[in-house]
Structure 1
Amino acid sequence: MNMPDASRLAQLGDTLARWQVDGGPVHLHPGDLGWYSRLGPDETASAIRIWADGATPAAIGLLDGPQLLRLAIDPTRRDDAGLARRIADSIEDPEVGVFASGQATVEARGASALTRILGQRGWQEDEPWIPLRLDLSAPVQPTCTLIETIDEDRAGEWVGVHWSAFRGTPLDDVVRQTLVNRWLAMTAGPFAGTSRNLVAFDAQGRAVAVTTVWSAGPGRPGLIEPMGVHRDHRGRGYGVEITRAGAAVLREMGSSSAVVAAEGANTGALATYLAAGFVPATPVVDMSRGELEPRA
């Protein structure tokens, strides 16, 4: 296992892009690295772990916080027991630099050998997540809501809606500026060229919903991450509208499908994606050790 420096981020994004396939798992996507890059390229690189054979990555993980490792494995290696044991050994040894001792969760969708080995070592199944996919071979139904793709000069509108959607507390000027700076770091980072940032507006011109979408290149699944509706404007269909608009943008970028994963307990998000035309796949579970903690 090794950790990259920031100069390798674009290359790792390209590798992850090649691992995205229709019909495959909704696992770690280059868009996940792009969203994390709000913290800057050095911080993003420091959160990545690579398992490689020589110079060729076989698995790439993102430490999305100290207790959660999000993984993608080369599709040709998902049943490779030797690779799975190497990853499991790294995960369980605090000296290696993945997890400290104590509670930990591994998101290893599609990694059948690793999931099996972790289960044999006493790791438990976490709550289910639902992968959802929208085929983009045909045009996406147009939206009725005004939705715009925005640039840096409107970052404040985007982050204000996102904060309301996921935090729901008042947003003071200091926190807003911090979030804007992070958003600008993302849009100037190594993954910015694969993303588009959308805002939906109501009839009064107020920003009511946001999303960012990430392409993995032509003919591959694109990711919707994140999507949220302002708490004062829920229940009016804006989540469905912004999701469909994001999928349409991914189609324009050449994506074969749009993908997302939602917690099984998040009935609101699931209802939104289903109403937008997404088709659910078989639920998947993370593997956890120690006392489980809610995911943000």
Structure 2
Amino acid sequence: MTRRDFAGPDDLRAMQDLASRLWSPTSRFHPGQLAWSRYYRPVDPAALDDGEAIAIWSDGDETVGFGWAEAPDWLELQVDPGRPDVAAELVDWFEEVSDAESQSTLVMEGDVAEKALAAAGFVPDPAAPWFTHHTVDLADLLPVPDLERYRFRHVERHEARERAAVHAASWSDFGPSKVDERAYRQLMDAWPYRPDLDWVAVDAEGRMVASVLVWLDESHGAGLVEPVGCVPEHRGRGLAGAVTLAALHHLATLGGTVAQVSPRGDDGYPGPQRLYRSLGFRPRARTITWTRSLT
């Protein structure tokens, strides 16, 4: 087994290949989630931000784990369930690259890494926000509602600026978005992005007012919904749900069989979960936040 540090897009693809190989409705990552996490902001594809670190573990040509210290106090990880030894090495690596006095990570309940986290002094944090993987069988999709004065379509590659703008406006409640034209062009170039699964609602003047991005992992027929948004002045009209259904119906025509989305499961931000359940999504598995203090 070998460990290497992140050196560019090929390493992101190795992480995505692991996520694809392990994917199920109860696994931590979908390949599309890793693409979004990497390119939701402008980045140098071959370099990481200050304070960020990624390591990848391989056994021969097969990726068996990765750790992504998105910040000194926050770790994302995935480990092949058949290789619990990787989890212990990964936790040790995080301590090496992090100088934070408090450290946290998010894993699925029952994840193979939990034993290694507990041995290193991490404990579950019941007060932390948590997320639930929800899925829907595409054979059971509700019809797309007909909303007067709006239509739904997929984007074209030349529309990166407009597509970035509708996302940024939709998420303005949470502060200035890092998604801009440059970031969205990078996202469009990342696997497994495809414009025919990037859908928008447009108003009577043709302006994008709501959006949904769906990522298809063809090896499982699994589509990930990430992210969804609607600009504030057009909310309350069912656009977020309608554009999501439009994209998922198209996903089904491409051979998709199941869709996943991962909204918050706690009471701190219940709106998205209510939306997805109204579309037919049902909960399958949840995350647990583990935290330790090194002071």
TM-score range for the pair, normalised by the shorter chain length: 0.7 to 0.9
Structure 1 residue runs of 4+, over 6 Å off?
A: none
Q: 1:1-296 counterparts in 2 under 5 A?
A: 1-6=3-8, 8=10, 9-21=12-24, 23-25=25-27, 27-35=28-36, 36-38=38-40, 39-43=43-47, 48-74=54-80, 76-77=81-82, 80-92=83-95, 94=96, 97=97, 99-109=98-108, 112-120=111-119, 121-125=121-125, 126-138=128-140, 140-145=142-147, 146-168=151-173, 179-193=180-194, 196-263=197-264, 264=266, 265-290=268-293
When the two chains are superposed, the root-mean-square deviation of aligned CA atoms in Å is 3.0
Q: Deviations over 1:16-40 (max 9, x none)?
A: 222212x432x12211222123534
Q: Deviations over 1:138-158 (max 9, x none)?
A: 455234241111023322332
Indicate how the Cα distance of structure 1 residues 43 and 211 shifts in structure 2: closer, same or farther if over 3 A, else same.
farther
Distance in 2 of aligned mates of 1:205 and 1:7: 35
**Larger proportion of helix:** 1
Distance in 2 of aligned mates of 1:275 and 1:257: 16
Indicate how the Cα distance of structure 1 residues 54 and 224 shifts in structure 2: closer, same or farther if over 3 A, else same.
same
**Structure 2 unpaired stretches of 5+:** none
Paired residue secondary structure (2:56): strand
TM-score, normalising length from structure 1? 0.80
Q: Deviations over 1:109-159 (max 9, x none)?
A: 255332233235133323221221111244552342411110233223322
Distance in 1 of aligned mates of 2:256 and 2:48: 25
Q: How many residues align?
A: 278
Shift of 1:169: 8.3
Indicate how the Cα distance of structure 1 residues 216 and 270 shifts in structure 2: closer, same or farther if over 3 A, else same.
same
Indicate how the Cα distance of structure 1 residues 34 and 81 shifts in structure 2: closer, same or farther if over 3 A, else same.
closer
Indicate how the Cα distance of structure 1 residues 221 and 48 shifts in structure 2: closer, same or farther if over 3 A, else same.
farther
The question of whether the paired residues in 2 share the 8 Å contact of 1:40 and 1:186 is answered with no
Query: Comparing 272-281 with 178-187, which one deviates more in the overlay?
Result: 178-187
**Structure 1 unpaired stretches of 5+:** 292-296
Query: Comparing 200-209 with 36-45, which one deviates more in the overlay?
Result: 36-45
The question of whether the paired residues in 2 share the 8 Å contact of 1:194 and 1:216 is answered with no
Supply the AA of the counterpart residue of 2:57. W
Distance in 2 of aligned mates of 1:61 and 1:252: 35
State, as a whole percentage, how many aligned pairs show the same letter: 22
The question of whether the paired residues in 1 share the 8 Å contact of 2:88 and 2:113 is answered with yes
Supply the AA of the counterpart residue of 1:256. T
Distance in 2 of aligned mates of 1:130 and 1:153: 34
